Structures are given as C-alpha cells and as structure tokens.
Amino acid sequence: MSRPRGGGDGRPARAVLLDALGTLVALEPPAPRLRAELAGRGFEVDAATAEAAFSAEIAYYLDHHLEGRDERSLAALRDRCADVIRRTVGLPGLDLATARAAMLASLRFRPHADATPPLRELRARGLKLVVASNWDCSLPEVLSRAGIGALLDGVVSSASVGAAKPDPRPLAAALAVAGTAAEEAVHVGDSEDHDVAAATAAGVRAILLDRRASLAGSAGARLRTDADEAAQGGRAAEVGGAGLTVIRTLAELPSLVLERV
C-alpha cells in the first residue's frame, strides 16, 4: 500500500505543482526557424544575426511577460517583442507584421521525454497536478499544443496573478486551484532562484529538478546537504537550505512523492 508524501509536517501530499519551461517543456531552437521563416518571406538573415535577434527578444520578454495578462495585452506584448527582432536584424523593408508572424512561427515547445509518464502515474493515484510558471496568459494553450494540457488539473501563469516567481503568489494561486493546503503539496521546478525560493516562501515542499546533475551511486532522488552545498558554492543553501531534495529526471518523481508504507 502507498500513500502520497507531503510537506515537512508529514501530511500526505494531495497536489503536485509544476514549473513549465525547463521542467515539463523545452523551447526548440528558435533562431534557425526564424531564419527559415524570414527567408520564406523574402528576407535573408545570417545565423549570428538570427541568434542575436532572438536573444534580445527573449531578454525583453522575460522583463515584460507579466504584461501579457489577457488576449489584448498579450497581442501588444507580442508586437513589442517582434519589434525587438525587427530592429535587431535591421533589414530594410521588414515590417512589424512580417517580423511578428516569423517570430510566432519560430516559437515551438516540445514536452521533455520524461514528462508525460510521471504525470499519468500521479494523476492515476489521485493527486492534483497544477502548473505554476512564469509565463504570459498563453501558457494553457502552449501546454495543450505540447500534449500536456489534458494531464493537468489547472494552469496558473505569473501574468494571470500579476507576480512572477520567486514571489509566492503564483504558488498560492495554484494551491487554490488544486484545493489543497501548502502542507499537502510539493513544487517541482528546475530553478533554485525561482522555483525553490517561491516554494519556500509559500510553505510548500520544494523539489529541484536538475537534469544535469550527476548523482554518483544513486538511482533516485537525494537530499542536498550542507556539505553538498559547500562543495557547490552554497547557492542552494542560501535559497532552499540544507535538505533540499534534488532529482535528475521527472521519472523519479512518483516514487519520491508516493511513499510505501
């Protein structure tokens, strides 16, 4: 028999809150697509320029994504992002509408290979699954297109609540969607600065997903200790503290959350 493991007070978990980008989905390289999309519209851009244009667009988006809170404001935000690309490539005759169409056609998100099976298992065990991520209001549509939306009980974007992680408000909103208390949830994300910090502030148990981690001698999750943090510069100790649970794949999540008793 198994029961879900919850927060630090031992209460059973009823909900798993998840980050989106880097955790459930990945952005396919947009610069090569931008070159192809612009070429199809009669504009030639070299690889370095396309990379610079999307780097500038992403930086602008990250600073302004909270402004995409509804359909109208999202359209305006996308126009401004497209203008960043248009000005960066500096092509005579490239109008905003063309740059916008090429930009949007270049943004494609795919699910991580380890994302879907754990979500199916956790959902089958009766846990609520809610995404809470720094994104504009289009996040539900993005996750649906990636084939993940149907596995979720809800989606909360930072733009919809007017605050981005590490602010705890996106997680508070996700808890409300799940109908659970903070002690009955865990939050899984790939950023210590955003996900772990937000979970800590919200009173939710944090699980750090680090697909780059090399966990020698372990096939599963581990607790990051003070010694681990000292060896790695102490970054997580500053944010999440000692005892931070780290996994290297989402495939480890069900066995971590579901404790055999």
Mean pLDDT, residues 7-25: 86
Domain boundary, last residue among 107, 137, 154: 107
Q: How confident is the model at residue 227 (pLDDT cuts 50, 70, 90)?
A: very low
Contact partners, residue 217, CB within 8 Å, separation at least 6: none
Distances (CA, A) of 172 to 110, 127, 148, 158, 178: 27, 17, 22, 11, 10
Cβ(82)–Cβ(100) below 8 Å: yes
Q: How confident is the model at residue 115 (pLDDT cuts 50, 70, 90)?
A: very high
Cβ(236)–Cβ(244) below 8 Å: yes
Closest CA to 144 of 20, 37, 61: 20
Cβ(175)–Cβ(198) below 8 Å: no
Residue-level pLDDT at 122: 97
Number of domains comprising the chain: 2
Same domain flag for 127 and 152: yes
Q: Quick check: 216 pLDDT over 50?
A: no
Phi, psi of 188 (to 5 degrees): -115, 125
Least confident window among 6-10, 108-112, 182-186: 6-10
Same domain flag for 125 and 177: yes
What is the C-alpha separation between 19 and 187, in angstroms, rounded? 8
Same domain flag for 156 and 203: yes
Cβ(194)–Cβ(168) below 8 Å: no
Domain boundary, last residue among 107, 129, 160: 107
Residue-level pLDDT at 10: 58
Q: Quick check: 61 pLDDT over 80?
A: yes
Same domain flag for 192 and 151: yes
Task: Give the rounded percent of residues in the chain with a pLDDT score beyond 70.
Answer: 83
Q: How confident is the model at residue 54 (pLDDT cuts 50, 70, 90)?
A: very high
Pairing outcome for strands 185-189 and 15-18: parallel
Residue-level pLDDT at 140: 98
Q: How confident is the model at residue 7 (pLDDT cuts 50, 70, 90)?
A: low
Same domain flag for 101 and 129: no
Same domain flag for 54 and 174: no
Residue 166 token pair:
């590490």
Least confident window among 54-68, 156-170, 200-214: 200-214
Closest CA to 216 of 228, 208, 206, 233: 228
Domain boundary, last residue among 107, 140, 168: 107
Same domain flag for 103 and 114: no
Same domain flag for 142 and 233: yes
Same domain flag for 17 and 66: no
Same domain flag for 41 and 98: yes
Pairing outcome for strands 154-157 and 185-189: unpaired
In this structure, what CATH number is given to the domain that contains residue 238? 3.40.50.1000
What is the C-alpha separation between 182 and 205, in angstroms, rounded? 8
Q: Quick check: 167 pLDDT over 60?
A: yes
Q: Quick check: 92 pLDDT over 60?
A: yes
Q: Quick check: 42 pLDDT over 50?
A: yes
Residue-level pLDDT at 229: 38
Least confident window among 69-73, 97-101, 164-168, 257-261: 257-261
Same domain flag for 203 and 123: yes
Phi, psi of 219 (to 5 degrees): -95, 0
Domain encompassing residue 254: 2-26+110-260
Q: How confident is the model at residue 240 (pLDDT cuts 50, 70, 90)?
A: very low
Model pTM?
A: 0.86
Q: Quick check: 211 pLDDT over 70?
A: yes
Q: Quick check: 220 pLDDT over 60?
A: no
Q: Quick check: 213 pLDDT over 90?
A: no
Residue type, 5: R
Same domain flag for 59 and 157: no
3-state secondary structure the chain: CEEECCCCCCCCCCEEEECCECCCEEECCHHHHHHHHHHHCCCCCCHHHHHHHHHHHHHHHHHHHHHCCCHHHHHHHHHHHHHHHHHHHCCCCCCHHHHHHHHHHHCCEEECCCCHHHHHHHHHCCCEEEEEECCCCCHHHHHHHCCCHHHCCEEEEHHHHCCCCCCCHHHHHHHHHHCCCHHHEEEEECCHHHHHHHHHHHCCEEEEECCCCCCCCCCCCEEECHHHHHHCCCHHHHHCCCCEEEECCHHHHHHHHEEEC
pLDDT digits (tens, 9 = 90+) for 99-108: 999 999 999 9
Whole-number mean pLDDT of the chain? Answer: 88
Task: Give the rounded percent of residues in the chain with a pLDDT score beyond 90.
Answer: 82
